[in-house]
Structure 1
Amino acid sequence: MIKKIDYENMGKNKLSWLEATYHFSFGDYHNPENMGFGALRVLNDDIISGNRGFETHPHRDMEIVTYVVEGRLTHEDSMGNKGSIGKGQVQYMSAGTGVYHSEHNLEDQPIRTLQIWILPDKKGHTPDYGDYKFDWNARLNTWLHLISSKKGSAPIKMNQDVNFYALELESGKEIDLAVKDGRQAYLVQIEGVSIINQHILNERDGMKIVEEDVKIKATKTSHILVIEMAKNSGKTH
């Protein structure tokens, strides 16, 4: 099963400093039919104005990933961590029993990020933080494995059976994505235009894929993120 999710039909929120698009219910956008996809609970496509950001706020029992599309994002938290990441790089925080953090754009120009929340495999993990400065070219026409479970082989490991992959596919090139039995994936067409099993995905569109192999062809150089997970996962014990 595959289902294209049009950007125009997603939740939206516009503030003086933030332009947000919600793939799933979040904040003032509440759709009981769209509360997540397996372990994937939140995927927000955010444009943050220069010298603004999210002030210090709490989280608990959630695996939180921030992926920078353009610009540089600075993180600070109650565990004493502080750092910044740029285009194509990843910040990971396991909120566990509770943590406070802030995220800011300290530059003059707007930045774009994807903020992703994954339900953990259980409640009560010890809070943790890390970031990884992936080489942009490592995803050129190939899947770059960003995140895996603790048993997986990706540089970043989280408390859930999920895999994150990033890709920059040059115009005219093709690549396969196999979603095996018992697995599902959510794909974000971050930039560019691609054709996926006859579906045209434009910039910011999404796609749900369940137990189906797909072929991706870039008609315009495409920046893509895939979150692959166990089918119907997401129950926190």
Structure 2
Amino acid sequence: MLKKIPKENMGTSNLGWLESRFHFSFAQYYNPSNMNFGVLRVLNDDIIHPHSGFDTHPHDNMEIISYVVKGSITHKDSMGNEETLNRGEVQYLSAGDGIFHSEHNLQDEDLRLLQIWIIPPKRNLEKLYGSYRYKKKHRTNKLLNIVSSKKQNSKVNVYQDINVFVSELNENKTIEYKIEKNRQVYFVQIEGSCQINEIILNEGDALEITKNNNLSITALENSHFLFIEMKEE
């Protein structure tokens, strides 16, 4: 089954320095019927304006993935990590029993990123932090597995049994993807537009995919997308 979620149906927030689109109930957008999709708890499409950001704040018992769409993000945390990442690069942490971190846009242009929160398989797991600087060539006209579980082969590994894929697909190109039995997918159209089987997505739209084995993804124009594959619930 394919269920389209138009961007117009998502929650939004504008704090001046931060503009957000919430795929699931979060912050000012409270929707008890839209709390998660499987182990995917949060997916926020954030625009952080220049010289602003999230000051130091805590997290615990959540696996957090940041995917940079535009601009640069600078991260600092209580484990001593500090770095700046750019378009297509990935930062992640497993917060375990507690971590403090900050995320800022120190540049003169807007920062756009996807913030993805995954529910871990157990509480109070050992804290993790890392990043990977993927190149555009790694995701152009192919699926790039940017995040996987620690049992898989991605450059970025989290505890939960998930796979995160991205692609920048040129107009009229098609990619096929097989969903294994008892697995499901949450698909996000980041930029451009594409057709997934019979469903057309435009920038900002999303798609819940359950009880479906094969996806045919065709770019209707130059298309940038991300999807998260996980156990079916």
Fold match, TM over 0.5? yes
Q: Which residue of 2 aligns with 1:112?
A: 112
Unaligned runs of 5+ residues in structure 2 are none
Report the equivalent of 2:68. 68
Cα distance, 1:89 vs structure 2: 0.5
Q: Structure 2 CA distance, aligned partners of 1:177 and 1:42?
A: 24
Matches within 5 A, 1:86-165: 86-165=86-165
Aligned pair 1:179/2:182, yes or no? no
Q: CA RMSD in A?
A: 0.7
1:52, CA displacement in angstroms?
0.3
For the residue of structure 1 that corresponds to 2:221, the secondary structure is strand
* TM-score, normalised relative to structure 2: 0.98
Secondary structure at the aligned position of 1:138 is classed as helix
Scaled by the length of structure 1, the TM-score of the pair is: 0.97
CA shift digits 1:115-155 (9 cap, x unpaired): 00000010011211101000111111111011111111111
Following the alignment from structure 1 to structure 2, what is the Cα–Cα distance between the partners of residues 225 and 105? 22
| Identity fraction in percent | 50
TM-fit CA distance, 1:211: 3.0
The residue number in structure 1 matching 2:51 is 51
Q: Is the 8 A contact 1:72 1:107 kept in 2?
A: yes
Take 2:9 and 2:123, find their aligned partners in 1: how far apart are those partners? Answer: 32
How far apart, CA to CA, are the structure 1 residues paired with 2:83 and 2:199? 39
Query: Quick check: 1:66–1:116 contact (8 Å CA) kept in 2?
Result: yes
The CA distance in 1 between the partners of 2:132 and 2:36, in whole Å, is: 26
Query: In the aligned structure 1, how far is the partner of 2:160 from the partner of 2:54?
Result: 26
Partner of 1:221: 222
- Name the structure 1 match of 2:232: 231
Q: Residue in 2 aligned with 1:11? A: 11
Partner Cα distance (2:177, 2:9) in 1: 25
The one-letter amino acid of 1:114's match is L
Give the match for residue 80 of structure 2.
80
Q: State the aligned residue count.
A: 232
Unaligned runs of 5+ in 1: 233-237
**2: distance between equivalents of 1:225 and 1:211?**
19
Runs of 4+ in 1 over 3 A off after TM superposition: none
